[in-house]
Amino acid sequence: MLSRASAVASCVSFAALLLAGQAAALELPLPPEGEDVVGQIQVVKAKYEDTFAALGETHDLGYLELVAANPGVDPWLPGEGTDIILPTRYILPPGPREGIVINLPEYRLYYYPKGEDVVHTFPLGIGREGWGSPVGNTRITAMISDPAWYPPQSIRDEHAADGDPLPKVVPPGADNPLGPYKMSLALPGYLIHGSNKKFGIGMRVSHGCFRMLNHNVLELARLVKVGTSVRIIDEPYKFGTSQGKIYLEAHTPLQDEDNHMTLMDKHAVVVNTLLKRDESAGVLQLDWEMVREIIAGEDGLPIQIAEQGQALASHEEQIF
């Protein structure tokens, strides 16, 4: 099988022929039953004034996913004419395809409208170190346009300690960190909301809430309603099938920033993730060398690791 670098180059080359210059679509058709991969990787030429933050806002991508997909490219000065990979191909998160699904290590939200064969996907800012976003099942309990912000005492204390005291109420407007819209969750204190800062979407920046680009949060608000289910997961490694092939998509585990997971630790997580899937029952032969490269690369791109219909190898022996 191809090396990881060759596999990525092959996908990018194909996508560039078909999609160069097109903006990323927020709405993607769902794949046939039993398949998991949506979208296509795209390539654009950077302009002189481009930054990854600006490209992310234009193409509905997060900052860190652009950095991961474009190793070696300066995110603040890519350089005019530089090819920029837009990682707009995704393995859908595991579990039911209903309501809202947030995958924390991916910094991304998926929404499945009931009765429609499409998925909408948006980048997110999530909770930073010490203020981690929760994992679990919840729902939207309220939706408010042009919200005021009532900073919790813990956040007011933090700002006061930094010499930046906050008022008890921040009214709607350009200085409001909730942006033009907020959706309250049944988890007390947690919101999905816009932002008064363009930078930070697709990063660990919040006090646990989920930040969106303002045009994205307004679009999501038009699609969902009070009662919409929200499932928050922590899945850095996603397996999926498409047209008889098995793919792996790897993101940096959130705990790696704090606990410094070794490559062996990450291999173990991948094996455990695989064992949860039907493929582990003896229907595929994985290219473990490719798997190791994908885990080390953590570029967030779905890369083929096997063909369906082959016998399963001894993964414990081959991956370590």
Handedness of CA 284, 290, 292, 296 (dihedral sign): negative
DSSP strand pairing (229-233 vs 99-103):
parallel
126-127 vs 204-206, strand pairing mode: parallel
Q: Report the alpha-carbon distance of residue 184 to residue 209 in Å, rounded.
A: 10
Helix (H) or strand (E) holding 108: strand 108-112
Residue 196 CB neighbours (<10 A): 15
Of 59, 209, 251, 267, which residue is the catalytic one? 209
Q: CA dist 244 to 125, 237, 240, 309, Å?
A: 34, 20, 10, 8
Beta carbons within 10 angstroms of residue 232's beta carbon: 21
Annotated catalytic residue: which of 193, 207, 251, 315? 193
H or E element, residue 294 = helix 288-297
DSSP state letter for 308 = B
SS3 of residue 307 by DSSP:
strand
Contact 75, 66 (CB under 8 A): yes
> Among this protein's residues, is 193 annotated catalytic?
yes
User: DSSP string covering 198-230, please?
Assistant: STTTTSEEESSSEE--HHHHHHHHHH--TT-EE
Q: Indicate the residue type of 184.
A: S
DSSP string, 238-291: EEEEETTEEEEEE---TTHHHH---HHHHHHHHHHHHHTSGGGGTTB---HHHH
Active-site residue set: 193, 209
